[in-house]
Amino acid sequence: MSQLKPQKFTIEGFQDQADWIGNLFSPLNQFTNDVWVAFNNQLTIKDNLYQEIKEIKFVNDSANFPLRFRTKFNAFPQGMLSIYVYNNTLSSFAAVNPVFDWTYLNNEVVINSLTGLTASSTYTIRFWVIYG
């Protein structure tokens, strides 16, 4: 847990600089508060990191490949992990993480194949896409 404790700056503490320092304190206090909030479990992948989580739902059938999704950033992903694999047909999580072959083309991740999943089952998979 963060040990940061934000302290507000006030004009009263700087009486000899009162004519100009008040304009500095408002943005400075806002910044220190934002940093404090961020370091107290408010950093998110979605809003703060050069990463994203994408969820796709599909039927595991060779006719449905390749799978595609648009990326949040206009950059080649450095890597991708499956972090959630749910078999909707069997109402259970997959016993193993699938192995997948992917490429990046025109701001899209293209998943050419997924192995290790039950054929003809509907899956929901979340991918953690990491950029450099």
Same domain (yes/no): 55, 106? yes
Same domain (yes/no): 64, 16? no
Same domain (yes/no): 56, 39? no
Same domain (yes/no): 95, 75? yes
Same domain (yes/no): 38, 68? no
Question: Which residue has better confidence, 111 or 10?
Answer: 111
Q: Are 68 and 110 in contact (CB under 8 A)?
A: yes
Same domain (yes/no): 78, 63? yes
Question: Which residue has better confidence, 40 or 90?
Answer: 90
Q: Which residues span the domain enclosing 3?
A: 1-43
C-alpha atoms less than 13 angstroms from C-alpha of 47 in its C-beta half-sphere: 5
Q: Are 52 and 107 in contact (CB under 8 A)?
A: no
Average pLDDT over residues 18-45: 84
Q: Report the predicted TM-score, pTM, of the whole model to 2 decimal places.
A: 0.72
Number of domains in the chain: 2
* Residue 4 pLDDT: 62
Question: Which residue has better confidence, 102 or 19?
Answer: 102
Integer CA distances (angstroms), 105 to 3, 71, 74, 127, 132, in order: 44, 10, 10, 17, 16
Same domain (yes/no): 17, 73? no
Extract the tokens encoding 65. Answer: 């490949």
